[in-house]
């Protein structure tokens, strides 16, 4: 079936560096994408989202890029801090109708930030 996957399961960076986490998706009908951060022992925390009618969206220190041509999503974290260490998941949904609420999650990338 359709799936969402990540290229790199682990990423180690130095504090202050920029981090890029990638995600590939296979469902061409995907309309809405979300990045979540999950710290140990906690539930996923919403970071940023983007709809398919956009190719870039910026938040505080984070930017999500969407390339629909190659079905690729990335999360960029600027000036990465030790508190950014967590597992990052991308999730997608076709949205609306019978697919409403049906988030499909990628496998996750472990980000480790070294002081």
Partner 1 sequence: SAVISQKPSRDICQRGTSLTIQCQVDSQVTMMFWYRQQPGQSLTLIATANQGSEATYESGFVIDKFPISRPNLTFSTLTVSNMSPEDSSIYLCSVDPLVGTDTQYFGPGTRLTVL
The residues that touch partner 1, with contacts defined as CB under 8 A, are 32, 34, 36, 41-46, 49, 89, 91, 93, 95-96, 100-108
The number of helices, as runs of H, and strands, as runs of E, in the chain is 0, 11
**Nearest distance, CB of residue 103 and partner 1, angstroms:** 6
Cα gap 36→54, rounded to integer Å? 19
**Nearest distance, CB of residue 14 and partner 1, angstroms:** 25
Residue 97, Ramachandran bin (φ over 0: left; ψ between -120 and 50: alpha; else beta): left
The residue among 28 and 45 lying less far from partner 1, judged by its C-beta, is 45
**Nearest distance, CB of residue 65 and partner 1, angstroms:** 19
Cα gap 9→19, rounded to integer Å? 14
The residue among 47 and 77 lying less far from partner 1, judged by its C-beta, is 47
């Amino acid at each position: 079936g359709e799936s969402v996957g990540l290229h790199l399961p682990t990423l180690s960076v130095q504090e202050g560096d920029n981090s890029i986490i990638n995600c590939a998706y296979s469902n061409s009908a995907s309309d809405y994408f979300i990045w979540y951060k999950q710290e140990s022992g906690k539930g996923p925390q919403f970071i940023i989202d983007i709809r398919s009618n956009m190719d870039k969206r910026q938040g505080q220190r984070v930017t999500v890029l969407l390339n629909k041509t190659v079905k690729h999503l990335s999360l960029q974290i600027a000036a990465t801090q030790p508190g950014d260490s967590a597992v990052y998941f991308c999730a997608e949904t076709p949205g609306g109708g019978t697919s409403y609420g049906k988030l499909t999650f990628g496998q996750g990338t472990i980000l480790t930030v070294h002081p």
